[in-house]
Amino acid sequence: MNREAITHFFIPVLGVLIGVFLGLQFIHGVFVRVQHPMTRDRIMLEALASDETAPQLAIFGNSIAMCGVDAKRLGDSLHRTALNLATGARNPMESLFYYKDLHDNIEVVIQFAMPSDLNIEPQMNADRYDAFRIYGYELDAQTEKILRSAFQERAGSYLDRSALKREFGARWALRSSIDEGVRDLLRNDLSVQRSIYDLYYPCPYTKRVPEPAMKRDLASRRERSARQTAANPQAAEILRAMTQRTREQGRRLLFVIPPAHPEIRNNEGAVPTRLLAEFLTELAEQPGVELLNTFDLLEADEFVDAVHPTAAGAERLTALLTARLGEML
């Protein structure tokens, strides 16, 4: 092959490679800078890594914990810094990722646990896992072992993705950023900004849902609860791993079973919650592990929808949690 032929071959190839590299750099920059549902994870990772912002009390869980605990009020009452690090649709495996690099400041981890966290096969959002890695998170051997054991053959879909595929897959962030902006403008019953950036009381809901929507949501939740009739071994493994991790770190762990709407707790919701309470009670026999069961705490008018507490409901839950932590500290 002569020099001219070589030039005609390699210059286009080099151009393609440079284009791919620049494209990936652009996607990475967009992912890190624009606002999208995973932005909260970046903010949380940064807060936990900083000596200035790392709390003594860290709250993990899903949107129920977001709406159920005012961490500023909690921390002020206990003369400590508390952060509400709950996130919408957060599951225990994703919470466990954070346990690896908890700041030395943290004395107690408060982990909200739903019946579905025990009674349903573990799930994880692939985009959220990719976001963790793009933000610089690295799995340690212990966390990877738990993930592979709990997710079995499904673990490969998260762990075995190349960095190139992960970065290229992150292009969804630009579209999501636009969707988030539009939703923030159109939905006067939601505060998207607060759900992303607030680390004290990040509840996004500003209005109680209309009664017809409440009834539909409750019926759907009751139907799902009725299917939760036995503990899932892999889900149980993740909850056990939380106790092991905090014990090894010399921290205390407080599991919290959140309040349930009376329509759920007086019907199909009682069985899956009883299974969870029995399991967590067993875990709480270990040193440094405790359980706060608030299943019966709130009344129907203290819920925004079928599951999320109102501000008044959050005040009651925060007060109860404060009292329990006061006994622990």
Note the pLDDT tens digit of each residue in 125-159: 777 888 888 888 888 899 989 999 998 888 877 77
Cβ(241)–Cβ(279) under 8 Å? no
Note the pLDDT tens digit of each residue in 94-104: 999 999 889 99
> Residue 258 belongs to a domain with what CATH number?
3.40.50.1110
Note the pLDDT tens digit of each residue in 243-263: 999 999 999 999 999 999 999
- Closest to 89 (Cα-Cα) out of 220, 204, 236: 204
Position 27 scores a pLDDT of: 47
Sign, CA torsion 151/101/201/241: positive
pLDDT at residue 318 tops 80: yes
Position 244 scores a pLDDT of: 95
Greater pLDDT, 76 or 167: 76
In a domain, 86, yes or no: yes
Position 69 scores a pLDDT of: 98
41/97 Cα distance (integer angstroms):
11
Note the pLDDT tens digit of each residue in 77-87: 999 999 999 99
Residue 264, CA distances (Å) to 21, 69, 294, 321 in order: 52, 21, 14, 22
In a domain, 164, yes or no: no
74/64 Cα distance (integer angstroms):
16
In a domain, 21, yes or no: no
Residue 28, CA distances (Å) to 47, 97, 136, 209 in order: 21, 22, 12, 37
| Nearby residues of 44 by Cβ (< 8 Å), 6 or more positions away | 83, 85, 87, 98, 199
Can you list the alpha helix ranges (DSSP code H) found in 57-154?
63-68, 71-78, 92-99, 116-119, 126-134, 141-151
Query: Of all helices (H) and strands (E), which one includes residue 280?
Result: helix 270-283
DSSP string, 176-222: HHHHHHHHHHH-TTB-HHHHHH-SS----B-SPPPHHHHHHHHHHHH
Position 159 scores a pLDDT of: 79
In a domain, 291, yes or no: yes
Q: Which residue type sits at 323?
A: A
In a domain, 171, yes or no: no
**Residue 34: DSSP 8-state:** S
In a domain, 216, yes or no: yes
pLDDT band, very low/low/confident/very high, at 70 (cuts 50, 70, 90): very high
55-91: string of b/e by CB count within 10 Å (b at 16+)? bbbbbbbbbbbbbbbbbbbbbebbebbbbbbbbeebb
| Residue range 189-204: mean pLDDT, rounded | 89
Note the pLDDT tens digit of each residue in 208-224: 999 999 999 999 988 88
177/33 Cα distance (integer angstroms):
10
152/138 Cα distance (integer angstroms):
20
Greater pLDDT, 158 or 203: 203
pLDDT at residue 160 tops 70: yes
How many independent structural domains does the chain possess? 1
pLDDT at residue 35 tops 60: yes
pLDDT at residue 18 tops 70: no
138: Cα within 13 Å, side-chain hemisphere: 2
Residue 240, CA distances (Å) to 180, 229, 269 in order: 35, 20, 23
Structure-block tokens of residue 156: 């490969």
pLDDT band, very low/low/confident/very high, at 76 (cuts 50, 70, 90): very high
| Residue range 191-218: mean pLDDT, rounded | 91
Average of per-residue pLDDT values in the chain: 85
Percent of the chain with pLDDT over 90: 54
Q: Reduce the DSSP state of residue 253 to 3 states and report it.
A: strand
In a domain, 15, yes or no: no
In terms of residue numbers, what domain contains 83? 36-125+196-328
In a domain, 145, yes or no: no
Cβ(265)–Cβ(152) under 8 Å? no
pLDDT at residue 186 tops 80: no
If one counts every other C-beta atom within 10 angstroms of the C-beta of residue 214, the result is: 18
